[in-house]
């Protein structure tokens, strides 16, 4: 029986497992077991009917060891401090795997954004920004989009921060609209990174994209871009799902068409997609679909001890953060299923966020092909480093990715020993 899922406990277990396997002494990594700072805020919002509702918000800075803290902001009804702590720790690991000069952070507001009007959401975003203002800034902690937040949200955070400072500060967030300092290529960057990683894996294993069938759970920013870009590489995307359920077509779905359908009207979900010869499936069915490659791109804890034994895909590329529980991971390993871990597979977003921040600091703009070229270089290099550790040490890709990150973090700690 699986114990009650706690994202942070899950994250710590993996971190400790990797540190022990790599032979580090506890003193060398103990600071990574604790977030540097946790801030919990109350976010009052005047609702459209004149009443006041107070939402709980968080910002956690896990580590600033390798550079300013970096991590997204999520709006979700189930968010809590434990989830945000885990997401912040994963950001530290991700930035270290990708070898970009950042630490890790994350933020959230416990809210179901679908229940708020546009005006209410704007006021929520601005007040949350004001409440976390002491922590954020281009030199210390830089938010970005995550679940249920987007470029528009980032624009509002940037504007609120700038208004309170008295001058425009584009570098306080990444993932902004291009018109106000966002980077070309950022909106698809996480999905593109997932595609690059999946293609690298297929290359290593001698798999042909045309003969590869995939299922993607989650059709938001990350899942839809990853599915589209993989389809453009020739991979057959047989199943897609979102919070409403999924669609399936054994011959492969027309992902661009599905994307256009969803984007055409606010509030459209995959359950509404009745064009073409698609079969409607549940999220459980999607995870257990008869495909080669499974890409979870929704939320944490989707592959659990309950369903890990039923997964038919031989390869999993984790586009979401923390989609696999520790118990499920052990089952997948035992079944010989290769998992490309989140901290490697979805690093494309933070890599292009880094490019955006660099462009903001230098007040210049890169061409999209330059962004994509540098993204590919960094993703391929990180993949190769992890693959090498995996083969040399005979460990899973997850352990290898953590070992790669830990080596950089522990070396950094050596040069920045405990103060005072």
Binding mask 172-211 for ligand NAD (x = CB under 6 A): ------------------x---------------------
Of residues 148-167, which lie at the interface with ligand NAD (CB under 6 A)? 148
Using the rule CB under 6 A, is 349 a contact of ligand NAD?
yes
For ligand NAD, the closer CB: 131 or 226: 226
The CA radius of gyration of the chain, in Å to the nearest whole number, is: 20
Of residues 362-391, which lie at the interface with ligand NAD (CB under 6 A)? none
Q: Is the sign of the CA dihedral 299, 190, 270, 341 positive or negative?
A: negative
- Examine the residue annotation and report whether 407 is marked as an active-site residue of this protein: no
The window from 12-20, 58-66, 145-153, 400-408 that contacts ligand NAD (CB under 6 A) reads 145-153
- CB of residue 58 to ligand NAD, shortest distance in Å: 14
For ligand NAD, the closer CB: 300 or 395: 300
Question: CB-based burial of residue 310 (10 Å sphere; 0-12 exposed, 13-18 middle, 19+ buried)?
Answer: exposed
Task: Tell me the sheet residues that pair with 239.
Answer: 215, 248
Contact between 327 and 306 (Cβ < 8 Å): no
Cα 341 to Cα 317: distance, rounded to the nearest angstrom:
7
For ligand NAD, the closer CB: 224 or 410: 224
**397-415 vs 7-22: helix axis angle to the nearest 10?**
80
Closest CB to ligand NAD: residue number = 220
How far are the Cα atoms of 161, 192, 281, 293, 295 from residue 195, in angstroms, in the given order? 34, 5, 24, 12, 10
Return the C-alpha torsion angle 108, 151, 132, 159, nearest 10: -160
Candidate list 103, 113, 145, 181; residue touching ligand NAD; CB under 6 A: 145
For ligand NAD, the closer CB: 169 or 345: 345
The number of beta carbons lying within 10 Å of the beta carbon of residue 259 is 17
- CB of residue 75 to ligand NAD, shortest distance in Å: 8
For ligand NAD, the closer CB: 22 or 287: 287
Of residues 236-275, which lie at the interface with ligand NAD (CB under 6 A)? 241-243
Active-site annotation holder among 106, 176, 236, 376: 106
- What HEC string does 99-159 produce? CCCCCEEEEEEECCHHHCCHHHHHHHHHHHHHHHCCCCECCCEEEEECCCCCHHHHHHHHH
For ligand NAD, the closer CB: 170 or 413: 170
Sequential DSSP letters for 369-392: HHHHHHHHHHHHHHHHHHHHHHHH
The number of beta carbons lying within 10 Å of the beta carbon of residue 263 is 10
- In the sheet where 236-242 sits, what is the strand order? 279-281, 245-248, 236-242, 213-217, 293-296, 315-317, 338-340
Of residues 274-333, which lie at the interface with ligand NAD (CB under 6 A)? 283, 297-299, 319-321
The window from 134-142, 146-154, 198-206, 232-240 that contacts ligand NAD (CB under 6 A) reads 146-154
Nearest alpha carbon to residue 247 among 213, 221, 211, 283: 283
For ligand NAD, the closer CB: 54 or 114: 114
- CB of residue 91 to ligand NAD, shortest distance in Å: 9
Of residues 211-240, which lie at the interface with ligand NAD (CB under 6 A)? 217-223
Size of the residue set binding ligand NAD (CB under 6 A): 24
The number of beta carbons lying within 10 Å of the beta carbon of residue 393 is 13
Candidate list 324, 346, 396, 404; residue touching ligand NAD; CB under 6 A: 346
What 3-state class would DSSP assign to 29?
helix
Of residues 76-135, which lie at the interface with ligand NAD (CB under 6 A)? none
For ligand NAD, the closer CB: 243 or 305: 243
The number of beta carbons lying within 10 Å of the beta carbon of residue 176 is 27
- CB of residue 223 to ligand NAD, shortest distance in Å: 6
- CB of residue 45 to ligand NAD, shortest distance in Å: 20
Binding site residues, ligand NAD, CB under 6 A? 145-148, 190, 217-223, 241-243, 283, 297-299, 319-321, 346, 349
Which of the residues are catalytic? 106
């Amino acid at each position: 029986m699986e114990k009650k899922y706690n994202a942070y406990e899950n994250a710590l277990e993996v971190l400790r497992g990797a540190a022990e396997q790599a032979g580090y002494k506890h003193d060398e990594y103990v600071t990574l077991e604790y977030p540097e700072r946790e801030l919990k805020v109350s976010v009052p919002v005047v609702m459209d009917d004149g009443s006041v509702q107070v939402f709980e918000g968080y910002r956690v800075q896990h580590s600033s060891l390798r550079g300013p803290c970096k991590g997204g902001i999520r709006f979700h009804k189930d968010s809590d401090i434990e989830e945000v702590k885990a997401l912040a720790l994963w950001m530290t690991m991700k930035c270290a795997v990708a070898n970009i000069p950042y630490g890790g952070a994350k933020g959230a507001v416990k809210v179901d954004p679908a229940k708020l009007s546009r005006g209410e959401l704007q006021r929520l975003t601005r007040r949350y920004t004001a409440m976390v203002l002491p922590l954020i800034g281009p030199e210390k902690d830089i938010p970005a989009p995550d679940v249920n937040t987007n470029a528009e949200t980032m624009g509002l955070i940037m504007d609120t921060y700038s208004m309170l400072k008295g001058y425009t500060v584009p570098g306080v967030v990444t993932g902004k609209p291009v018109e106000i300092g966002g980077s070309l290529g950022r909106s698809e960057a996480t999905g593109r990174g997932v595609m690059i990683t999946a293609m690298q894996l297929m290359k290593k294993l001698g798999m042909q994209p045309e003969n590869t069938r995939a299922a993607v759970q989650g059709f938001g920013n990350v899942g839809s871009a990853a599915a589209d870009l993989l389809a453009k590489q020739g991979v057959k995307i047989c199943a897609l799902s979102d919070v409403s359920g999924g669609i399936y077509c054994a011959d492969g779905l027309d992902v661009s068409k599905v994307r256009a359908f969803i984007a055409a009207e606010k509030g459209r979900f995959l359950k509404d997609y009745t064009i073409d010869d698609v079969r409607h499936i549940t999220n459980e069915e999607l995870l257990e679909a008869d495909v080669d490659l499974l890409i979870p791109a929704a939320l944490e804890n989707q592959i659990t001890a309950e369903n890990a034994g039923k997964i038919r895909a031989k390869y999993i590329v984790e586009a979401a953060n923390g989609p696999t529980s520790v118990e499920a991971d052990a089952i997948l390993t035992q079944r010989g299923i290769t998992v490309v871990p989140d901290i490697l597979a979805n690093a494309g977003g933070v890599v292009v966020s880094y490019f955006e921040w660099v462009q903001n600091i230098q007040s210049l703009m890169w061409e999209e092909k330059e962004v994509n070229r540098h993204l590919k270089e960094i993703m391929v290099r990180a993949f190769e480093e992890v693959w090498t550790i995996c083969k040399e040490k005979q460990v899973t890709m997850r352990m290898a990715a953590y070992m790669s990150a830990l080596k950089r973090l522990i070396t950094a700690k050596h040069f920045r020993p405990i103060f005072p």
